[in-house]
Every structure is written in C-alpha cells, then in structure tokens.
Amino acid sequence: MQEYWELYMKNLEGKPASVLFNAGISMEIDEIKNIYPQIAFVKVALKESSEKGLLSDSEEPEIIYLEDKLEASLIKFRIGKYVGRVISDGHVTFLYYLQFTYNWQDFLNFALDEFESYEVTSGFQEDAAWNYYQKLLYPTPREWQIIQNHKVCDQLKAKEDNLYLPRAIEHKVFFQSEYKKEEMIEKLIEEGFKIKDELTNEEGYKGISFYRTDKPFYHDIDELTLHLIDMLEIYDAHYDGWETSIVKS
C-alpha cells in the first residue's frame, strides 16, 4: 500500500470533525479489499474535549504517542493496515482494515498497556466493500477542493503573499459534454468572469479557462470554488482548480 496522508475538516452528524486518512491507497482498493475484509476501530474518549474537532495542545502529545503505539502493535502482530482517524464529539477513533482477527486482543493488550487512564472501546466487523474508507474517510469532491485550496493558500503564504489582497484568479473547467457550453459561458460572464483559453486535458475532454478579480484567502476561495462546483455541475461540467500570482504587501 502507498503511504500518502491527507488531513481535512468535515461535518459529521452535525458536529465538526478532523479526518486524517491514507489517500495513497484509494487506487488500490479493488486489489486489496479481499485481503483486508474487516474494518476495525479503537475509540478513545478524550480527557479535554474540543468543540472544533481538534486535539487540545496539552493532550495532543499523548494521543499521538498512543497512535504510534497502536501502529507499532499492528506491525508487530501483522494483522492489518492503519487507514485513518477521526476526531469528533470528544473522541478520537482510529480505523484499521484487518487481514486476521484471531489476535485482535493481543494487539490491543500490547498497544494500550500504558493508557489505562483512558476510556477505550474497540471492535471489528465485515466491510469487504471498504465502505468505511470510501464513505467516512475519503473526501467528497467538495471536501477535496477545500484540501487543494488550502494547499495552494499555504504555498502562497509561505512565499509571503498577502492573501487578503484581490488579484486575478484563473480557474479551469472541463466538459463531460459540450451541449450546455454556451449557456455556461453566458452564466460565467454574468457573474463577472472573463473567458481566457480553450483547453483539452490528458483524457481528451474539452474545457476553458476563465478569471476574475477575487481574494485567495482561505475562507474566500473556499466559498468561491464551492459555488463554482455547484454551478458548473448544472452545465455538465467539472471544475478543475485555480491558480494565481503572488502579491505581497
């Protein structure tokens, strides 16, 4: 399995949650789901609950150590793979896909021997379709867009960009079919965008680039791109991200 981890925030049953998951295995599910058919969890009640779905500064080191100990135990007993964790509603839940379950209790005993002060629940069940990974851990297209937005914002910020300053932000869109292309362009122009170039992606789909003056600050770009995703779907088109130039104070 490939190791490529992503962290993002989502709403889970009406409460904020932070989700850390191994995105690298998403292309391998069909190959490995029969090898690891059980989903297992270790759920830990936090001593210092956060309404934002995050660990407190004081408790984070111990929880990270617990996470490392669980992974070391998983490797020791060779029973499965760690795929992600969810922090929400005063708990952190670690998720694993298991190849074997006969030594699950040995895994727990070894991993949790130093953490008797925590309230821990655990269990496992069949999930041959990997529904927990695909529907709980894996982001929706909207959540993926926020992940990518914040990566670009972080890169701009690292180069001393002032994210609050408006500038031309260029976007790309590709069509599943082009029968609503002209209607879509009219809508973009109505919303103040200017059309730039005709595009073709690696799969051969046609598209366009367009731009408008906006702020690339985290919340602003999230609101804008999520609006574009929803709007463009009406025209049978797929939003494909944005880019901009660096603007310093």
- Chunked into runs of 10 residues, the chain (249 residues) has average pLDDT values of 85 91 92 94 89 84 96 94 95 96 95 94 96 95 94 96 97 91 96 95 92 96 96 94 94
Q: How far apart are CA 49 and CA 248, in angstroms?
A: 38
Q: Which helix (H) or strand (E) holds 41?
A: strand 38-45
In this structure, the number of other CB atoms found within 10 A of the CB of residue 55 comes to: 18
pLDDT of residue 52: 76
What SS3 state is found at 239? strand
Q: What is the pTM of this model?
A: 0.85
Q: Which residues pair with 87 in a beta bridge?
A: 18, 92
Instruction: With beta carbons less than 8 A apart as the criterion, state whether 195 and 210 touch.
Output: yes
Q: Which of 87, 113, 231 is nearest to 171 (CA)?
A: 231
Residue 30 neighbours by CB under 8 Å, 6+ apart: none
